[in-house]
């Protein structure tokens, strides 16, 4: 057993070191407080492994991303989203028979209990669809309670994967005041979603292959990303043995933040602002570099990738294909390409290893599909669903997995005596 030596308080401690299947090393500090009385400190957990996981591997320096060993470039170009869901959750690509059953289950379970339709009436028309999605997913626990004794977990996994696209499409239909459209077994996951979004009683909508293929790829590249903020949230909530729906609903809320999945919406708003201000990309980049402006180049930078995010590379190419095939000229794409060109040649971004991440180009592709900006983070959640489920299941299936309970360093007021209000001195204002 390899060890790392810690010298602290005049004592020496040998901390165990172990390596994963890709030769990543970890210093095991799970006994640190017991041995030394001190805790390790790492706000944002940038240097801490919260678990061992066999689902996704990322090498941020080399820009590598693999789901269960398969490189993202191969899956994005050759697989369909529902088989990638099966791969992430069940650790193998399904054979033809398994795939037929799996895909049929996903469509037949896309329907939501008719009583849940009433929930949509309660939301204001312009509700953000992430608020609706988080509420709807948590509410599934009321309709499909998890029985410890039964095998409901496998069934609830299918239900959640299947219904998320229905919640997403229905929240859009509610916002435009159109009737809900139901899925058909003859369509793929991506085709069904586009049809549920854009078909109306007056006019059928046959999803164009180029858009269904682009959506399929978008969902695949969002499907998992190891211990990101929202997946860690799902594991945190699931560690208390909360049910799947409650745990994933928490993940939806974590993803909503503009530093995480909300960034794809923030990128479009940033590009639109640049155009409204006259389209001067150089001036915007100069503002980003002035600390006091607090402006960020949204869609750039990443906690793990210190190289080009492989997903951004795939999305940049997909944007080029879709816009060319559909003959679309989107000024936002031109601005995004110019911003990238400027940033990749600017010392500020180079020395901080800031490259385009998955959110930089995804929104432009959603726009080409006709998906409104406030639906972009919901699209990210739809894609990330299998990843959240796979991590929740991996943790649930791990024997003796412990409830997550980090420690802290207290910096508040030390002990003081309670004074009854009649004797309390006037408090200092401000």
Cβ proximity of 217 and 321 under 8 Å: no
CA angle 35, 45, 138 (to 5 degrees): 115
Judged by DSSP in three states, 135 sits in helix
Asked if 391 interacts with ligand SDX (CB under 6 A), we say no
302 is catalytic: yes
Tokens of 261: 């999945």
We find the least distance from the C-beta atom of residue 391 to ligand SDX, in angstroms, to be 12
Query: Which element (helix H / strand E) includes 18?
Result: strand 11-19
Site string for ligand SDX, 321-340 (x = CB under 6 A): --------------------
222 is catalytic: no
Asked if 112 interacts with ligand SDX (CB under 6 A), we say no
Asked if 228 interacts with ligand SDX (CB under 6 A), we say yes
**Total residues interacting with ligand SDX, rule: CB under 6 A:** 22
Residue from 138, 297, 365, 382 touching ligand SDX (CB under 6 A): that is 297
Asked if 260 interacts with ligand SDX (CB under 6 A), we say yes
Q: How far apart are CA 383 and CA 143, in angstroms?
A: 23
Residue from 296, 306, 313, 404 touching ligand SDX (CB under 6 A): that is 296
- Give 40 or 259: the residue with its C-beta nearer to ligand SDX: 259
Residues 6+ apart with CB under 8 A from 268: 332, 363, 364, 367, 373, 376
- The DSSP bridge pattern shows strands 56-59 and 64-67 to be antiparallel
The string of DSSP codes covering 66-87 is EETTEEHHHHHHH--HHHHHHH
Q: How far apart are CA 134 and CA 329, in angstroms?
A: 34
We find the least distance from the C-beta atom of residue 350 to ligand SDX, in angstroms, to be 11
Residue from 263, 281, 333, 379 touching ligand SDX (CB under 6 A): that is 263
Which residues, in sequence order, are bridge partners of residue 64?
59
Q: How far apart are CA 346 and CA 288, in angstroms?
A: 12
We find the least distance from the C-beta atom of residue 290 to ligand SDX, in angstroms, to be 11
Site string for ligand SDX, 346-365 (x = CB under 6 A): ------x-x--xxx------
Residue from 86, 302, 316, 393 touching ligand SDX (CB under 6 A): that is 302
Catalytic residue among 213, 224, 309, 359: 359
Asked if 218 interacts with ligand SDX (CB under 6 A), we say no
Asked if 130 interacts with ligand SDX (CB under 6 A), we say no
Taking every pair of C-alpha atoms in the chain, what is the biggest distance, in angstroms?
Answer: 79
Catalytic residue among 213, 302, 309, 391: 302
Span of 72-80, 131-139, 291-299, 330-338 interacting with ligand SDX by CB under 6 A: 291-299
The string of DSSP codes covering 382-418 is HHHHHHHHHHHHHHHTSTTPPPP-------S------
- Catalytic residues, by residue number, are 302, 359
* Residues near ligand SDX, by CB under 6 A: 225, 228-229, 259-261, 263, 288, 296-304, 352, 354, 357-359
């Amino acid at each position: 057993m390899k060890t790392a030596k810690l010298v602290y308080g005049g004592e020496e401690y040998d901390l165990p070191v172990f390596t994963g299947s890709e030769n990543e090393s970890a210093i095991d500090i799970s006994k640190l407080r017991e041995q030394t009385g001190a805790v390790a400190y790492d706000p944002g957990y940038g240097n801490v492994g919260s678990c061992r996981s066999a689902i996704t591997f990322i090498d941020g320096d080399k820009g590598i991303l693999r789901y269960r060993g398969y490189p993202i470039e191969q899956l994005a170009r050759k697989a369909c989203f529902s088989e990638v869901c099966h791969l992430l959750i069940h650790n193998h690509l399904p054979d033809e028979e398994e795939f037929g059953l799996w895909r049929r289950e996903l469509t037949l379970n896309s329907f939501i209990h008719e009583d849940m339709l009433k929930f949509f009436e309660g939301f204001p028309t312009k509700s953000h669809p992430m608020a609706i999605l988080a509420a709807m997913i948590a509410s599934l626990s009321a309709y499909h309670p998890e029985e410890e004794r039964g095998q409901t977990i496998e069934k609830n996994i299918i239900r959640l994967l299947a219904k998320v696209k229905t919640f997403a499409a229905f929240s859009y239909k509610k916002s435009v005041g159109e009737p809900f459209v139901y899925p058909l077994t003859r369509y793929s996951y991506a085709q069904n979603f586009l049809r549920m979004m854009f078909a109306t009683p007056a006019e059928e909508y046959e999803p164009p292959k180029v858009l269904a293929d682009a959506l399929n790829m978008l969902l695949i590249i969002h499907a998992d990303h190891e211990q990101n903020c929202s997946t860690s949230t799902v594991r945190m909530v699931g560690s208390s043995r909360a049910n799947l729906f409650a745990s994933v609903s928490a993940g939806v809320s974590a993803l909503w933040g503009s530093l995480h999945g909300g960034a794809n919406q923030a990128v479009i708003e940033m590009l639109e602002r640049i155009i409204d201000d006259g389209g001067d990309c150089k001036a915007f980049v100069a503002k980003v570099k002035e600390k006091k402006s607090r402006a960020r180049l949204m869609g750039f930078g990443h906690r793990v990738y210190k190289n080009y995010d492989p997903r951004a590379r795939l999305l940049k190419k997909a944007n080029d294909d879709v816009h060319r095939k559909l003959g679309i000229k989107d000024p936002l794409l031109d601005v995004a390409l110019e911003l990238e060109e400027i940033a990749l040649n600017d010392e500020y971004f180079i020395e901080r290893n800031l490259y385009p991440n998955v959110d930089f180009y995804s929104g432009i592709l959603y726009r080409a599909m006709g998906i409104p900006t406030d639906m972009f983070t919901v699209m990210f959640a739809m894609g990330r669903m299998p990843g959240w489920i796979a991590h929740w299941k991996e943790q649930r299936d791990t024997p003796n997995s412990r409830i997550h309970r980090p420690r802290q360093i207290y910096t508040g007021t030390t002990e003081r005596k309670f004074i009854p209000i009649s004797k309390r001195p006037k408090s200092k204002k401000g």
